[in-house]
Amino acid sequence: MTTTLRPAEPERRGADGVRSRRFTVCVNSRPVGGITLCTDARFGPEVGRLDALGIEPADRRRGRGTVAALAAEEVLRGWGCRRIDVAVPADAPDAPVALRLAAALGYVERNRAMAKPVPASPAGLPEGSAVRPMNGAEYAAWDERERPDYVQSWIDLGLTPARAAVLAAADYRAALPDGPATPDTALRVLSHHGTDVGHLWLRLAAPAWVFLITIDPAHRGHGHGRSLMLAAERECAAAGVPTLGLNVYTANTPAVRLYDSLGYRPTVHHFSKPLL
């Protein structure tokens, strides 16, 4: 039997150059599922995305999804893509199957979103630790220090330096339009026995999100990251926010272990694979 992809709709192209198309997965011309392919608006036409791959229940466990995913890679190569990304929601009914398929096809998990219910009474900070709002001068120094790192994180994901700078600037304008006075935003400084050791950037509007925690290199390895996460949970509890989320790069093993230990659980797994 031959598994193929048949276009199910005309190709769509956006003003920003993004293209997408829905395909029907067929076995000997018989429809057995569907898949959507597109290019990524942020990364540009060289990065493709595989979305909404689904095989009908009666045709599962026969390799249809594997062949369809491989056929999708060929389509994206034809579009000029050099990388393919896929997101797997952790709560999807077929998430275990999708995760196994991604691993079998050579996809590598790049990062994951995680979340946890905010405790009604979060734990207190360790003795000697305290959190205060970031003032204007501290914000300026923090922004000057952290923004280049954010630009570099986009470069590490495959963007050109120029494109990374543009996207980073847009993200900061959207998330911090009024700097430390931005509504529903907590910018905090963590001190330990009077010495500043770290910073927190937290969005309190639902969905609450930890944008960034940073620890001064000289003070890492002493539990201050945990203190900042506890501070974030206390801020959320005070604001009546029920759930707190974050993103973590899987290569950052200490951070993954920290969030696991605090009870955060994956909500979305993000995978990538080069298209050689």
pLDDT over threshold 80, residue 88: yes
In a domain, 257, yes or no: no
Residue 14's pLDDT is what? 85
Compute the distance between CA of residue 51 and CA of residue 38 in angstroms, rounded to an integer: 8
Query: Would the pTM count as exceeding 0.75?
Result: yes
* Of 90, 110, 130, the domain-final residue: 110
In a domain, 67, yes or no: yes
In a domain, 174, yes or no: yes
Residue where the block lists tokens 């280049």: 148
Please name which of 115, 84, 85, 96 lies closest in space to residue 270, comparing C-alpha atoms. 85
- Model confidence at 43, pLDDT cuts 50, 70, 90, reads confident
Residue 100's pLDDT is what? 94
What mean pLDDT comes out for the span 188-211?
A: 96
Question: 216-251, pLDDT tens digit by residue?
Answer: 999 999 999 999 999 999 999 999 999 999 999 999
In a domain, 28, yes or no: yes
Query: Same structural domain for residues 99 and 135?
Result: no
Q: What range defines the domain where residue 49 resides?
A: 3-110
Residue 206's pLDDT is what? 85
In a domain, 96, yes or no: yes
In a domain, 259, yes or no: no
Domain count, the chain: 2
pLDDT over threshold 80, residue 199: yes
Residue 130's pLDDT is what? 97
Query: Same structural domain for residues 100 and 129?
Result: no
Question: 123-169, pLDDT tens digit by residue?
Answer: 999 999 999 999 999 999 999 999 999 999 999 888 889 989 999 99
Query: Same structural domain for residues 72 and 171?
Result: no
- The mean predicted confidence, pLDDT, of the chain is 94
Query: Same structural domain for residues 209 and 106?
Result: no
pLDDT over threshold 70, residue 113: yes
Report whether 52 contacts 69 (CB < 8 A): no
Residue 1's pLDDT is what? 64
Query: Same structural domain for residues 157 and 91?
Result: no
In a domain, 249, yes or no: no
| CATH number, domain with residue 36 | 3.40.630.30
In whole angstroms, how large is the CA radius of gyration of the chain? 22
In a domain, 198, yes or no: yes
Query: Same structural domain for residues 22 and 104?
Result: yes
